[in-house]
Amino acid sequence: MAAAVARGVSVPELPRLLARDPYLAPFAPDFQRRYTLFHDRLRNIEENEGGLDKFSKSYKTFGVNQLVDGGLYCKEWAPGAEGVFLTGDFNGWNPFSHPYKKIDYGKWELFIPPGQDGFSPVPHGSKLKVVIRSKNGEILYRISPWAKYVARVDRNVNYDWIHWEPPLPYLRKHPQPKKPKSLRIYESHVGIASPDGKVASYKNFTYNILPKIKDLGYNCVQLMAIMEHAYYASFGYQITSFFAASSRYGTPDDLKELIDVAHSLGITVLLDVVHSHASNNSEDGLNKFDGTDSCFFHSGPRGTHSLWDSRLFDYSNWEVLRFLLSNLRWWIEEYGFDGFRFDGVTSMLYHNHGIGTGFSGDYHEYFGLHVDEDALIYLIMANHMIHLLHPESITVAETSEHHAVRNLPETALHISAREVSGMPALCCPIAQGGSGFDYRLAMAIPDKWIQIIKELKDEDWNMGNIVYTLTNRRYEEKYIAYAESHDQALVGDKTLAFRLMDAEMYTNMSVLSPLTPVIDRGIQLHKMIRLITHALGGEGYLNFMGNEFGHPEWLDFPRKGNNESYHYARRQFHLADDHILRYRFLNAFDRDMNKLEERFGWLASPPAFVTETHESNKVIVFERANLIFIFNFHPSKSYAEYRVGAETQGKYPFIYYSAWS
């Protein structure tokens, strides 16, 4: 590292970053060092691997891949193994009949010729295992880290590796849509996308949910819990097989169809990618693949996340870099994903993983030895690769504080991983010394709404504090704003609708019953909070599925603590379709809000110009995209002929949204 820094590769556009934020000037050497490390790693890939394009397509050679003549080429990286073998249905589960040959740098390879009929010796749908003979003589049965499909067969606890090579694979019919100028994200989980108490399917999402998303005016779907994870209640954040689409929702071809149909509707599809850690499962995960506690991970305490009970990647390792970059490339090119939301970026960026750290905003918190620059360089490399090879792709950084799913006894938890650390230049171009992300999540906004609703009376809401939270973001870095996401839907927490209306959502949401003050206030504020967040809070907007119509219940996956119940692991979309229920008003408002943005494009416009924050009147006024937004948050006063200033003289048509429009 010292030698790399001494060479000092110039950051091409660093002066532009420092001119925009002069307070970063003392840290110019840090940006210089980071860029040099990235540049050197990229140069090494070019010199030793034939280029980044070839290096990031290693899924074509690692794992088990079928050749044009029907034979199989198998390759694994197992530096701690004494012997590697392939077994499965194809050889009657003989553990040693098909040994790999050891080659350079801890890699092993095996070629299996085609059968006499010219077909593959391993039929599609048959089971496989890698057999590892460890250095202490132990025989281990493992799933290849590059396995493309794994599933639980019958009542097995562990996943089985199933060779996926269908004779007629799904062929994509529709082109990738252009990158949206205004990003309106519908955060989704395939398994809960049904009112039924079961794991819903890719097919259900394709034919029942995608049309709803299109109708609501969202132009992007963010799919959670797709990378295979053994524990459903982890919300997809304990990955066991990184190249396998979760089989609990259907086949790989079903997911490919889902993405293809989304593209036909003009909807961009993002994958919630988890490269911040991995499940500590060894029978059906990456952990101890070659019999050692390292291989893909740091050994010892550094290789284990103390809160997540999971393994931490060694981002300085050449083969780990190959694995993770190829994983990103795989999801884009094999499935057609249009980009990623990177989970757990804070955990990656700092050696302390953000645990017990309250970021104050002091720039010294983002530079120095406590920053894991190996992880940072990996993220820069990932963004460089994605945007170089697929310019229409989108990357979003989700970095955070840490808290476990509330009160769950299980160890495989979903952890919120959110970017509240404020790492400068995270969403700036790499040429400026940035990390190259397109967007970062505005994590402070939902926390502020929860704090206001929980702790303050309506008359005590502070307009200036609301505006500050919605507008406090780094200049020329794009933010995804949201009032609530999946985090606020989890059991132990409450959605905005539930906080505002609580038990009355079960009794007073029918239009046949009297409109109570609680329901009236809740519906009004639900709409106002979402619109002001949408219009003022960022350059993109996100909503978690069902929250657009005020889904009445929290989210709780089946687990021992609830007797494996699916009752709360579902979304009751039928509530918004029922004309007798008031949920339809919230649903219609969400649609109109997105359609209005689509018409005027405020998310793609410069930040808003706030003209009034009147504390006693509880009025907020701002201009954006040639629109004037006027919000009256007063709990009891309405105003006639209220005068507000406007930057541009002229006549302004009036658009009014009541609670019942």
Query: Active-site residue numbers?
Result: 343, 398
CA distance 621 to 651: 17
d(CA 567, CA 548): 20
Among 270, 408, 287, which residue's Cα sits nearest to residue 343?
Answer: 270
Tell me, rounded to whole angstroms, the distance of Cα 24 from its chain centroid: 29
Helix H, strand E, coil C: the string for 121-178 is: CCCCCCEEEEEEEECCCCEEEECCCCCCCEECCCCCCCCEEECCCCCCCCCCCCCCCC
Q: Which helix (H) or strand (E) holds 102?
A: strand 101-102
Q: How far apart are CA 631 and CA 147, in angstroms?
A: 53
Residue 84 tokens, joined: 């590697």
How many C-beta neighbours within 10 Å does residue 443 have?
25
**CA–CA separation, 246 and 227 (whole Å):** 6
Give Cα 519 distance to the centre of its chain.
33
639 exposure class (CB count in 10 Å sphere: 0-12, 13-18, 19+): exposed
For residue 46, what are the contacts with CB-CB under 8 A and spacing of at least 6?
52
Residue entry with tokens 């890939």: 45
What's the gap between Cα 498 and its chain centre? 25
Do 224 and 187 meet the contact criterion of CB atoms below 8 Å apart? yes
* Token representation of residue 270: 């993002």
Q: What are the distances in angstroms from CA 311 to CA 175, 308, 338, 435? A: 37, 8, 27, 24
Say how many Å lie between the first and final Cα of the chain, rounded: 61
